[in-house]
Amino acid sequence: MASFALPLWAQEKTVPSPAALSQEAVAPAEVLDSQQFLLNNIHSRGPAKDYSTAVEKLLSRMTPKEKIGQMTQLDISMVCDGKDQELKINPEKLKKVVGEYGVGSILNVFEEALPLEKWHEILGEIQAEAARSRLKIPVLYGIDTIHGANYIRGATLFPQPIGMAATWNPELMLRSEQIAAAETRASGIPWTFSPVLDVGRQPLWPRFYETFGEDVYMAKIMGVAAVRGYEGSDPASPSHVAACLKHYVGYSFPASGHDRTPALIPETTLREYFLPTFAEAVKAGAHSVMVNSGEVNGIPGHANHHLLTDVLRKELGFQGVVVSDWEDIKRLVQPHHVAATEKEATRIAIMAGIDMSMVPRDYSFSDLLLQLVNQGAVPMGRIDEAVRRILTMKMELGLFRDPLLGVNSKLQLGSPEAQKTALQAAHESIVLLKNTDKILPLAPSQKILVTGPTADSLVSLNNGWTYMWQGDKSDLYPKDKPTVLEAIKAKAGSASVVYVPGTTFDKELDIASAVDAAKGADVVVLCLGEMSYAESPGNIDDLNLPGPQLQLAEKMAATGKPMVLLLIEGRPRIIHGISALPKAIVLAPNPGNEGGQAIVDILFGDYNPDGRLPYTYPSRPHSLLTYDHKTSEDPEGGRGSTTFQPEFQFGTGLSYTTFQYSDLRLSAKQIMPDEPLTISVTVKNAGDRAGKEVAQLYLTQRFATITPPVKRLKRFAKILLAPGESKALRFTLDRNDLTFIGPANQPLLEPGEFDLSVGDLHQVFTLISGPAAISAQR
């Protein structure tokens, strides 16, 4: 099997050269074995230095007010005047924040992404003020680097996390986050509020595109890749940053589908589906965790001592900093109503386990917490515990050595090599879902009508968290990156392409004109999907695509011209009423600035599609089962029929070539609990062009104390095969892969039969043991 240790430059305390990045971007891996990748990257963090003596010495010199200042995080507007590109430090504001209150952390932009030079100016003044303070403690600056360094003008942007999940390529995820980390640190910012490890099992949720999809195992693999990419083996290097795991825990499963609203999750389900991603990333050494803004089972995330302390600290062993989300301690009063006053809310949150409050635009937290300490309502030991973690994190990031580490790196933002990696990620994120009569690839000689609201939009290709919070300001986007329309014109020639918008995202514009234009076309490329959104502004109550877009599809189909449907969206918008109309369906899950070119490369056959769905694509708004649903949720499933009929299954994706599976072998038909099971299978490219296949291994436990899911993903590998080439793959399962969370909310291993499948091949094996279930640890 191939080794997946970090590339050499990621292990060193040096900024990667363009040549090094280029080598990483093009060097092929032999086989992407998901589990080997996970194990190697969990253990690839360098040895942690012991800063305890320095931390205790500094802590002993701090007053209560200075300690509480370190626990305070304020927005950039608290130290600046103006906004956007006119943002400037106000010396008096800055002196109050850093000098008087000793604030430990600042975050955000206001409101647009800033160029590198402006970041250097602002951060330089902030750290200079910190150097003038009594204890000279540097400020920890944080930013949302979500799909690249999206708040730094000129940085490389990658597909959103849901698009990266669609690549099924953790090595590519790792490389992308290494670039994002280096470009973020080049600004002087050492901390990113990423990755999102909430599992995307509620497709209405407006932050769905920030997740790695619905599968726990996939999200664990991609989450560890992100942490390792951000932090490297040493986050104190000038090319790495601290990661922040968010939003712990259960945030992504609101019953309403709306952001920041309650979730009802039994503890067995919480531990089976929502905790494992955080557990693996904690093992990988992530430095910080951000808390769920909603509530789970009636207890707000910021007041949940059981989850924040008993589980996160004592069970998972997390030792880093726990930071609140935006205004969420205040929100314990309204809308949560678990505290009558902000002072009481502050006490509840700190005692539950919050170390740092993202206040973010007043001094209430600092003032109220100081009162609580002076009154004995919050013990100094709890304050010291939080500040000890914050100071340790700052030291481990190298801020005491150089608070502006990275600004002198001379790294080229958006270098050609980085853009090449972004294009590769965009290519691999795109999923071909339907290709009747092999209508794709298109021929450049065809006359093409391009229509639909996402055809000429970089905004849709990127979605939120792009140059500003909502990502909706088109004039901030680069002029040298093509939209889908522009890339089609460049490929086929402007004379062969006609463009009629047809609709906006939710209003009819000129459908009749599009119908007329179709008369002269050989093929219609219909571009539907979503506008940009982030958090609560993206709340919807209906997963169906808006009516005008569906109407445009129907009118285009009525022309009789063959149609290719391109979906550019951050969550699966339902298309069941029109899915039979196009001959081809291509999904582009927010592929980023390189997405227009990547989509057209696939439409015209310059790139063979190899993306796979990281979620179940529903066919109806009230049929939102995931692929790993319970057998009891599909009672006909065991009787030769099924009521589970999504539009497209999890893990599916077509290619312009054909792959065949053969020779599925198990090392044993019966195994003991501590005996590994080795699986081998051969994959062949039976077509006439090179392509990448994603081999997916699934397990089904036939009977269990807790009703088992129909199947669970346990391993995957993405492989490149030339025409006619075969490759033997080998996977190993152990007892952890056979456990589930039992009635006592602990991992349980039970004997019995298991069905195993890879591709279209199936085998059965039996776990044998004594008469009682065997307790297991994950």
| Residues noted as catalytic | 325
CA distance 778 to 776: 7
Nearest one of 272, 275, 273, 280 to 304, comparing CA atoms:
275
What the block records as the tokens of 335 is 């809308």
What is the DSSP code (8-state) at residue 147?
S
| Beta-bridge partner residues of 677 | 733
Round to whole Å and give the CA distance between 775 and 167. 35
The CA-CA-CA angle for residues 459, 463, 466, to 5°, reads: 80
Cα-only R_g, the chain: 26
Instruction: Report the first-to-last Cα separation within the chain, whole angstroms.
Output: 24
CB-based contacts of 520: which residues, under 8 Å, 6+ apart? 447, 449, 498
- Alpha-helical (H) ranges within 523-627 are 547-558, 595-603
109 closest CA partner among 468, 436, 421: 468
DSSP state of 117: H
* Token pair in block for residue 172: 């590519």
Q: Could you tell me the CA-to-CA distances from 548 to 250, 501, 523, 589 in Å, in that order?
A: 34, 12, 21, 21
Contact 691, 771 (CB under 8 A): no
d(CA 299, CA 684): 52
> If DSSP codes are grouped into helix, strand and coil, which group holds residue 174?
helix
Judge contact between 509 and 439, C-beta under 8 A.
no
Q: What residues form DSSP beta bridges with 766?
A: 670, 753
**DSSP single-letter state for residue 574:** B
Is 159 within 8 Å of 595 (Cβ atoms)? yes
In the three-class reduction of DSSP (H, G, I as helix; E, B as strand; rest coil), residue 681 is classed as: strand
Positive or negative: CA dihedral 327, 316, 255, 212:
positive
Q: Which residues contact 427 (CB under 8 A, 6 or more apart)?
A: 598, 601, 602, 607, 610
Q: Largest Cα–Cα distance of the chain, in whole Å?
A: 80
Tell me the CB-side half-sphere exposure of residue 332, using CA atoms within 13 A.
Answer: 30
